Amino acid sequence: MTEPFTVSRDFKAPVALLWTVHTDPAHQAKWLSPGNPAGYKSDMDFRVGGRHFYGMPGPDGSLMYGIQIFRDIVPLQKIIMVQSLADAQGNVAPHPLAPTWPRQMLSTNLYQDLGDGTSRLTVRWQPLEATDAEAEMFDAARGGMQGGWDHQFGQIAAYLATLSHD
């Protein structure tokens, strides 16, 4: 079994606000697609057993689609989901640039109130039902995942800085 990839970041925002910017598509559009929030597409049924089908615009305006199936939700604390790339119809699809990337990732997002208006997000990713080639690709991509999450956390922090923290 492939070891999970885990990354954390502390944010200068209350945990309730950090939770909201992750679970409300109107907020997601502003940090997942900061250059084109109007181009972000989302159909979310945020409940255990529900799914989120979304499209994030790339630099050329074309959409990259994904699906999240929610397995466990503990408000303000935890979201466990299966995350996959998708085609425009919402079917699980291979990564367009890395065909041996795992088709399913078990993603655990942990939200922690650190007090004094600060919160921590910890994300743990692990391939789910991966082939040997997918597991190898995942393990080889850890440096890229770190860079990607650092970038995404930076986008979240920049967006949070624009919001009132009352």
Q: What tens-digit pLDDT sequence spans the chain (166 residues)?
A: 689 999 999 999 999 999 999 999 999 998 888 777 888 899 999 999 999 999 988 777 788 899 999 999 999 999 999 999 999 999 999 988 889 999 999 999 999 999 999 999 999 999 999 999 999 999 999 999 999 999 999 999 999 999 976 5
CA–CA distance, 152 with 94 (Å, rounded to integer): 22
Residue ranges of domains in the chain: 5-161
Query: Coil, helix or strand for 25?
Result: helix
CATH class of 5-161: alpha beta
Residue 52, beta-bridge partner list: 44, 68
Look up residue 18 and give its two tokens. Answer: 């950090």
- The model carries a pTM of 0.92
CA–CA distance, 82 with 163 (Å, rounded to integer): 29
